[in-house]
Structure 1
Amino acid sequence: MEPHQSDDSVGYYWLADQFGRWSQFHKVMTNTLEHILADLEEVYEFKSRVKSLESITAKANALRRHSLKHLSEEVPDIVGFRIVVFFQSQIETVLNRISEELDVVSVNRQFDDHEQIKNCIIIAKLNDKRLQLPEWSAFEGQQFEIQILTVIAVAQLDIDHALRYKADVPRIEEKQRSRTSPIQTDLSLLDQIVDNFSSLISRIDVHEKRDVHAFIKSHPFILHPNAMETFSEVAIGLGTEHRLDFLIREADNSYVLVEIENPQHRLFTSNGDFTAAVNHAQRQVEDWQQWIEENMLLVQKRYPDMLSPRGLVVIGRGIGLSDVERTRLSRRNANLRGQIAIKTYDDLIAGARQSIASMRKAIVDAGLL
Structure 2
Amino acid sequence: MRYRIGPESDNGAGDYDDSPSPTELAELMQWLENETARHKREEAAEPSLAEFAVEWDDITLERVAAFRGALNTASVEADMQAFLEANPNLLVQPLGGGHGRWVIPEKRLGSEHRADFMIGQKSTVGFEWVAVELEGPQRKMFNKNGEANQWLTHAIGQINDWRDWISRNRDYAARPRTDKGLGLVDIDGEVPGWIIMGRSSEASPETHDRRRRLARQHNIKIHSYDWLVERALARCAELTAWRRGEEMD
Tell me if the contact between 1:207 and 1:262 (Cα under 8 Å) persists in the aligned partners: yes
Q: Which residue of the partner structure matches residue 56 of structure 1?
A: 47
In 1, distance between residues paired with 2:244 and 2:56?
A: 15
Q: Which residue of the partner structure matches residue 305 of structure 1?
A: 186
Counting only pairs closer than 5 Å after superposition, residues 9-158 of structure 1 correspond to structure 2 as 21=36, 23-24=38-39, 50=42, 53=45, 55-57=46-48, 158=56
Q: Which residue of the partner structure matches residue 83 of structure 2?
A: 215
Offset from partner CA, 1:281-329 (integer Å, 9 cap, x none): 0100011011111221222232342233211111111113222122322
Tell me, which stretches of 5 or more residues in structure 1 are unaligned? 1-19, 27-49, 60-156, 164-189
Q: CA RMSD in A?
A: 2.6
**Residue 247 of structure 1 is aligned with which of 118, 141, 152?**
118
Q: CA deviation at 1:234?
A: 0.8
**Residue 292 of structure 1 is aligned with which of 166, 173, 183?**
166
Q: CA deviation at 1:52?
A: 6.4
Amino acid at match of 1:229: W
Q: Which residue of the partner structure matches residue 329 of structure 1?
A: 211
**Number of residues of Structure 1 aligned to a counterpart in Structure 2:** 196
State the TM-score, normalized to the length of structure 2.
0.70
Q: Which residue of the partner structure matches residue 347 of structure 1?
A: 227
Offset from partner CA, 1:243-299 (integer Å, 9 cap, x none): 111111112211111111100001111111111100000100011011111221222
In 1, distance between residues paired with 2:128 and 2:56?
A: 20
Sequence identity percentage: 24
Which aligned runs of 4 or more in structure 1 are off by greater than 4 angstroms? none
Tell me, which stretches of 5 or more residues in structure 2 are unaligned? 1-34, 176-180
Tell me if the contact between 1:232 and 1:245 (Cα under 8 Å) persists in the aligned partners: yes
- Distance change in 2, residues 1:284/1:52 (3 Å): farther
Q: Which residue of the partner structure matches residue 318 of structure 1?
A: 200
Tell me if the contact between 1:310 and 1:340 (Cα under 8 Å) persists in the aligned partners: yes
Q: Which residue of the partner structure matches residue 247 of structure 2?
A: 367
**Residue 61 of structure 2 is aligned with which of 191, 202, 211?**
191
More RCO (CA 8 Å, sep 6+): 2
Q: Which residue of the partner structure matches residue 202 of structure 1?
A: 72
- Distance change in 2, residues 1:365/1:340 (3 Å): same
Q: CA deviation at 1:51?
A: 5.1
State the TM-score, normalized to the length of structure 1.
0.48
Q: CA deviation at 1:352?
A: 1.0
In 2, distance between residues paired with 1:325 and 1:294?
A: 34
- Distance change in 2, residues 1:266/1:232 (3 Å): same
- Distance change in 2, residues 1:360/1:311 (3 Å): same
